[in-house]
Every structure is written in C-alpha cells, then in structure tokens.
Amino acid sequence: MEADGHHGGGLVSAPAVIDADVGIVGAGPGGMAAALRLADAGLAVVVLDEGMRPGGQIFRQLPAGFVSTAHPSEPPSHQQGHELLRKLQRSKVRVEARATVWDAAAPTGPGPVPHTGAAAQAGKLWFEQDGASRLLRCKAIVLAPGAYDRCVPFPGWTLPAVITLGAAQVMVRGFAIAPGTRAVVAGSGPLLLPTVTAMLAAGVEVVAALEAAPRLAVLAAIPGVLRSGARLREAFWYARQLLKAGVRLKFGHAVFAVEGNGRVERAVIGKVDAAGMPLRHTARTVEADVVCTGFGLVPSIEIGQKLGCATVWNETSGGWCLEAGPFGQTSVQNVFAAGEIAGIGGSEVAIADGEAVAGLIVANLRGAPAPLPLSSRRQSARSAAFAMLRAFHVRPGLFSLAQPDTIVCRCEDVTVQSARAAALVHGSTLRGIKMGCRAGMGPCQGRLCTPNVQALASSVGAAKWDLPTVQVPLKPVATATILDAPKG
Ligand SMILES: Cc1cc2nc3c(=O)[nH]c(=O)nc-3n(C[C@H](O)[C@H](O)[C@H](O)COP(=O)(O)OP(=O)(O)OC[C@H]3O[C@@H](n4cnc5c(N)ncnc54)[C@H](O)[C@@H]3O)c2cc1C
C-alpha cells in the first residue's frame, strides 16, 4: 500500500504561514479518519505529521520508493487502515509530512462554532519541516498525536540492542531493517504479538516470547473484549501466526536482566508471580542479540497540556490522558482529541474517535445536533479496549527488578540510587526528584523515565506519577526554528 496524501514538497518555496479551517496533529488512524470526514464536508484541512508518510504507528508505510520482502503480514482488520490511506491519497486533505509540531496556541472565539472575524483568534501550530520554521493557522485544532512506549527498567535495559516493542516494529515496518538475529520479545500488552510477527517476518528467530500478565488474567478479559469482534478476531489471528511459527507465548514470565559486553549477548528470564514479583529460583539464561521490551503505551498529551486542556488520570488507559467528551471535546473550546491521546485504545477506537470529532465540528458549523450513533460506536470500542488493557496493567513487583545501579533516566544517566537520594533531600514528587538529579531533563523530555522515576525512587511499585509540566519546544527542534518562528 502506497499512500502519501499531499505532502509539503518543494520546500524552498513553501510559505512560512499556511491557513486552514481545521489543523490536525498526527496522520495516524485518528487524524486520518477526522481529516477525511472534515474534507468530505468541504472544510480545508491540513494534517501535520513528523513521520515521512501518513499512517501513524500501526499503518506505518515504508519511505516512498522503498520495497520490502519482509513486510509482516497483517490481520484482516488492518484493511480499514489501508482503506483510509487510499482515501487520503484521493482526497483534498493536505498532509504536511516531516512536520514536527513544537508549539501551539488555542483558537479563541465567541462560541463553540469555529469562528472567523474580529472577535476570533486563529489557533496556531508551529512546526519544523526540513529545517524550515513554519506555522499553521486554523479555526479548530484536532490533536491525534498518539502515544509512546512504556518501559520498566531492569539491569542491562540500556545496553545497545535492547529496544522497545514499538521501535522493533518501526525498524521492520518503517525501514525494512531486521533488528537482530535472535530475539527475546518481552513485556506486557497487546503490542507483544504484532512485535513477534514483525520479527518473524524480518527473518529473526524469536527465542522467547514472554508476557508478564498471568494467563488467567488475560482469559478473564475475554468477555469484555467481546464488545469488539474485530479485536477478538485480531488476537486469534496473531495467536495463529505464532502457532504456525512454533513460538509459544509464555504468560507470567519476564526478562530479569540483560547481559553482554557492550551490547546484548544474553537475557536472564524467568517466572513472575501475579503481582509481577520475580521468582528468582526460576531464572535461566538464553542467548540473544536483541531484546524487545515494552509495557504498554503512554498517551502523548504534551500538545494538549500546552493548549491548556484538562487532563485526567486513568491507569488502565496509559496514565495521564487528555480529558475528552464523547465527541472528543477537550476543556478548551475548538480543541479536540482523537485516538491514544485521550486514552490508549487501539486503531479501531482512534478511527471512531476521529469520525466522532469530525461529526461534531461539522455539526457545529451547520448548527445541527451532534451525531449520536457515532458516539455509541466509539464508546463500545473504548470499553472493549479498556477491558483488555486491564489485564495488562504494569504489575508493581516488576519494579523490584531494577537494582540501585540500574539507570532510570537514560538521557541523563541517572541511577535508581541517585533518584532515591534526590527524593530524600527534595521530596518524592516528580519535581523534587528532577531538581535533585536531573531525571527527565534530557532530550526525550522525560517521556521514557517519567512513569518510573517516582515508583523507583520512593515506595516500590507506586502506580501513579505526577503530571509532568510541559516546556516549549514540545519536541527537540533546532534553536533557529524557535528564533525564526513566524509570529502569524
Ligand atoms: C511505536 C508504536 C507501534 C505500534 N504498533 C502497533 C501495532 O502493530 N498494532 C496495533 O494494534 N497497535 C500498535 N500501536 C498502537 C497504535 O499506535 C494505536 O492503536 C493507533 O495507531 C493509534 O492511533 P492514533 O491516531 O491515536 O495515533 P498514531 O497512530 O500513533 O499516530 C500519531 C501520529 O502523530 C504523529 N505525531 C506525534 N507527535 C507529533 C508532533 N509533535 N508533531 C507532528 N506529528 C506528531 C506521529 O508521527 C504519528 O504518525 C503502536 C504504537 C506505537 C507507539
């Protein structure tokens, strides 16, 4: 499947400021679904995405002109995503690829209808694209920036060739690169199975596939998942792929440590109990040259925070999420949320969200009532996802894998013991620990360590972390981009 939408090309002459009715951040399923429906209603829509091509994480495409013989086969439910990509290519939606949004301002106006006129101020999305500093002005903003991987530190997790489940998929599906030859795939959640199939498609031998949740917890989630037939069929499809390849997913297992001289050479694996506590007497060593690990996803809420949107804590849905109504309404007028930013739910939810958001924006513009059927579809997809994710919560015992010298913030090389020392002096809030040891102050801006730092520095296994504060730039960009930012 090749679909590009209408990319910003010829960047020498690209205008610094562009205008649209609706600006969308993210060309994943949520952003694409919203964009298509809005464009169908005759609105001018611009989608900004930092990726090279639209599709988001799940429908990631190889760069234009690349062909791969190792592209993993996909469950039938993914056809929905490919259909979106095909429609996007034929649509009037303008997709600006390689466009990293690093700052944002909310639209203001006298009412819920996206406005023009003297009383209204356009919403603004500043982005960097191929070294140029650009600005999109729009009457309404839809945030669909997805999520990022969650890691739980264990000894050796920062060795080269320990990668996240998401990174493994990006390498195989986005760049046709095999991350190694012998892989351990471990963690918890629905991303494990697609990662195993991606590894197999790339010719990587999967020597162990380990799910930390107990089998019973996963089976108990099935009745709730029945609310989404597509989800269940997808799970069975992946299970069949593993069976065909002779890979057995071991429940109640985890990686205890990774060892090697300068890179991954072996992994120590073993059983964990229902609370995630490692059962050390079961430990054994397997040889591997890549370890893929991940414990679910964390919503990417930073742009929403910058716009002043209210957030809500929901551990099952990934932690801090943007608060969103049934049609993706945030607490800020004419700013909407679709997909993982409002809680992890998968592509089916993201598409339903995108359509619901677009339905409301179009209804607002026409002065019509909100389209209710879309809202209930979104609700049942979300509750099926919620039922499934409950089985895969991060078990507190897993935090006991990290030792005092294990790194917790990899950008700033902060160990567990220095985070603990900082907590003793400055308090065990996120801010206190950060003040004392710089955890979260590196280039990833805390995306990787924030969910773990308080759990490891204070009471082992604390499930909740403080809401991080956001700083501009929201993503790392060149200083010149900030200095040259169009004022609009
Ligand atoms: C690495 C990764 C791999 C995944 N693989 C699978 C899988 O195989 N199967 C599965 O069922 N689910 C997978 N998921 C979950 C999947 O992402 C979601 O279910 C679904 O894609 C969510 O759709 P979305 O529209 O909310 O966000 P996404 O699909 O994540 O799309 C968000 C888009 O926003 C863009 N973006 C984010 N921030 C910015 C910014 N500041 N500026 C510009 N653009 C930005 C990103 O480039 C991305 O294209 C994966 C998630 C991740 C993080």
Question: What is the SS3 string spanning 253-297?
Answer: EEEEEEECCCCCCEEEEEEECCCCCECHHHCEEEECCEEEEEECE
Exposed, middle or buried by CB within 10 Å (0-12, 13-18, 19+), for 322?
buried
User: Model confidence over 458-482: pLDDT tens digits?
Assistant: 865 567 999 999 999 999 999 999 9
From first CA to last CA, the distance across the chain in angstroms is: 37
CA–CA distance from 147 to each of 6, 57, 150 (Å)?
A: 24, 9, 9
Calculate how far, in angstroms, residue 85's C-alpha sits from the geometric centre of ligand 1.
14
Tokens 């409950």 sit on residue: 390
Amino acid in the structure at residue 265:
E
Q: Inform me whether the pLDDT recorded for 246 exceeds 90.
A: yes
Q: CATH for 151-295?
A: 3.50.50.60
Select the CATH number that applies to the domain covering 11-148+298-387 from these four: 3.20.20.70, 3.50.50.60, 1.10.3210.10, 3.40.50.150: 3.50.50.60
Here the tokens at position 35 are 């964009």
**Given the CA of residue 31, which atom of ligand 1 is nearest to it?**
25
Exposed, middle or buried by CB within 10 Å (0-12, 13-18, 19+), for 19?
middle
Bridge partners, residue 183, by sequence: 206, 290
Number of Cβ atoms within 10 Å of the Cβ of 174: 20
Q: Inform me whether the pLDDT recorded for 59 exceeds 90.
A: no
Whole-number Å distance between alpha carbons of 97 and 47:
8
Q: Are 112 and 333 in contact (CB under 8 A)?
A: yes
Please tell me what DSSP assigns to residue 475: S
Give phi and psi for 269, each to the nearest 5: -120, 160
- In percent, the amount of the chain with pLDDT more than 90 equals 75
Please tell me what DSSP assigns to residue 110: S
Look at residue 342 in the predicted model and tell me its pLDDT.
97
Average pLDDT of the chain, as a whole number: 90
Look at residue 420 in the predicted model and tell me its pLDDT.
94
**Nearest Cα residue to atom 11 of ligand 1:** 346
Residue in 161, 156, 194, 190 with CA at minimum distance from that of residue 178: 161
- Residue to substitute in 37, 57, 389 for testing ligand 1 pocket (most ligand atoms within 8 angstroms of CB): 57
Whole-number Å distance between alpha carbons of 170 and 198:
10
Calculate how far, in angstroms, residue 27's C-alpha sits from the geometric centre of ligand 1.
9
Domain ranges of the chain: 11-148+298-387, 151-295, 397-457
Calculate how far, in angstroms, residue 348's C-alpha sits from the geometric centre of ligand 1.
12
Residue 9 binned pLDDT confidence (cut-offs 50, 70, 90): very low
More reliable by pLDDT, 233 or 189 = 189
Q: Inform me whether the pLDDT recorded for 1 exceeds 50.
A: no
Residue in 240, 246, 239 with CA at minimum distance from that of residue 205: 246
Give phi and psi for 443, each to the nearest 5: -60, -25
Q: Is the dihedral of CA 376, 381, 382, 383 positive or negative?
A: positive
Calculate how far, in angstroms, residue 175's C-alpha sits from the geometric centre of ligand 1.
16
Calculate how far, in angstroms, residue 146's C-alpha sits from the geometric centre of ligand 1.
4
User: Model confidence over 95-137: pLDDT tens digits?
Assistant: 999 999 999 999 987 666 565 555 568 999 999 999 999 999 9
User: Model confidence over 117-127: pLDDT tens digits?
Assistant: 555 689 999 99
Q: Is the dihedral of CA 320, 324, 325, 326 positive or negative?
A: negative
Calculate how far, in angstroms, residue 147's C-alpha sits from the geometric centre of ligand 1.
6
**Given the CA of residue 26, which atom of ligand 1 is nearest to it?**
34
**Nearest Cα residue to atom 17 of ligand 1:** 57
| Cα Rg of the chain (Å, integer) | 22
Q: Inform me whether the pLDDT recorded for 2 exceeds 80.
A: no
Q: List residues near ligand 1 (CB under 6 A).
A: 25-31, 48-51, 56-58, 99-101, 144-149, 166, 169-170, 191, 194, 297, 300, 339-340, 346-347, 350, 474-475
Calculate how far, in angstroms, residue 56's C-alpha sits from the geometric centre of ligand 1.
5
- In percent, the amount of the chain with pLDDT more than 70 equals 91
**Nearest Cα residue to atom 48 of ligand 1:** 56
Look at residue 225 in the predicted model and tell me its pLDDT.
78
Cβ neighbours for 172, distance < 8 A, ≥ 6 positions apart: 70, 71, 72, 178, 179, 198, 199, 201, 202
Tokens 């169009």 sit on residue: 486
